[in-house]
Amino acid sequence: MVVGEFERAFAAGQFDDVANLLAAHGVGVWLPEAGGPVEVGSVMHRALMTLLGAQSQREVVRARQRTMTAMRRQVVEQGRYLGGRAPYGYKLVDAGPHPNRVHARWGRRLRKFAPDPTTARNVRWMFAQRVAGRSAASIARELTGRRVQTPSGRHGAAGEWSERTVIEILRNPRYTGRQVWNRTSTDRSQRAAGADRFAQDRNGMGKWVVSAVVAHPALVSEEDFVAAQSARVVRTGVDGNVHIYRYVGLLQCGECGRRMDAHRVHGRPGYRCRHGHRSSRTRPADAPSNLYRREDQLTVAIVDRLSRQGCRIGGDLDEIEAFLRARRAIVICHRDEVNISLRRCGRRVAATNLTAGCGRRRGRRHNPRAESKPHGQVPS
């Protein structure tokens, strides 16, 4: 075996890993740097291979850095598709010759997403249903009932839609027509033994690379995409009226730290915390009483609190809710006041079309309980 360029043959300790195997099969390795055949038993040659391996490794790291920088620029400036499967609802189509003449010469072409006639309407329908307040589980049930083929249907799996699949689709920002890259990272140090794929981690939204231009036809408007992210709960009450709880998932009890439940308070939408007690019978006499907050009173308190934190926001309910959700806010509710922890200023998120500013500076005093949770901060 003759190695012309060692950087392309092995890196780090890879030569060591195969040297004995090759020797056992009588395969010699020739290398210009060794002046001929590498002698596996020679201390000098072993040292040389270690050195070349280290040099090669450094080149790998540098090349990866260069590639990442270039890919980032291609996504942001040109919205270019950088590989991977087309999301459900799209198919890959030809987008002309490759702009790089070297690549174009050997016939490489650009590709982009185009709506898939059969599945794109399912995606549009799913967003519309979600925006109308329907739960992901209910959407999944109807798709299964209508015998719509699942995204993994072609792999022979049963045609059953899971809530998870629907949520994944509703959370994918590529449906807004923008190209998004780096939503996951592959950790090469964590490769599981025997696994043929690297473990993938979800990156926080702050690490996403979002194209500044629209790269392919949108299946959902940016407004509807943001609305679909609001996990607002719509319930039909015993009186047959539809009740909407705007702040579900955003409120935390200031007394015990639990998430507050949607609950009618004097016939109006509101929230309560029972501090973990299921009924009044099991509760010790000295336990604190339930915390109840009416939604309309909460709205006033939230707007007031935000303005004192330097966030300009009007009294429009949709705007307030979208503002809080876009910033993954936690509203800590006490009996007579609220504290709000904003975990992200959504400037860099493509699908955020909010104009309201956020004046929170890093380092300002805020609720320590909320801040102890991991959060994705947008690098400034």
Give the binding site for Zn ion (CB under 5 A): 253, 255-256, 258, 273, 275
**Nearest-approach distance from CB 274 to Zn ion, in angstroms:** 7
**Nearest-approach distance from CB 268 to Zn ion, in angstroms:** 20
**Nearest-approach distance from CB 256 to Zn ion, in angstroms:** 3
Q: Which residues contact 183 (CB under 8 A, 6 or more apart)?
A: 202, 203, 208
**Closer residue to Zn ion (CB): 237 or 257:** 257
**Closer residue to Zn ion (CB): 227 or 253:** 253
**Closer residue to Zn ion (CB): 260 or 358:** 260
Q: List own/partner pairs for 80-84 with CB under 8 A and 24 or more apart.
A: 80/110, 80/179, 80/211, 80/215, 81/110, 81/111, 81/112, 81/113, 81/179, 81/215, 81/216, 82/179, 82/181
**Closer residue to Zn ion (CB): 39 or 255:** 255
**Nearest-approach distance from CB 110 to Zn ion, in angstroms:** 55
SS3 content of the chain, % helix, strand, coil (to 5): 35, 20, 45
**Nearest-approach distance from CB 329 to Zn ion, in angstroms:** 18
**Closer residue to Zn ion (CB): 59 or 255:** 255
Q: Which residues contact 22 (CB under 8 A, 6 or more apart)?
A: 1, 28, 29, 40
Sign of CA dihedral 266, 252, 169, 81: positive
Nearest to Zn ion by Cβ — which residue?
Answer: 253
**Closer residue to Zn ion (CB): 198 or 292:** 292
Q: Which of 211, 249, 261 is nearest to 78 (CA)?
A: 211
**Closer residue to Zn ion (CB): 273 or 358:** 273
SS3 284: coil
**Nearest-approach distance from CB 258 to Zn ion, in angstroms:** 5
**Nearest-approach distance from CB 199 to Zn ion, in angstroms:** 37
Q: Which residues contact 235 (CB under 8 A, 6 or more apart)?
A: 242, 243, 245, 262
For residues 375, 231, 348 and 206, what is the CA-based torsion angle, rounded to 10 degrees? Answer: 30
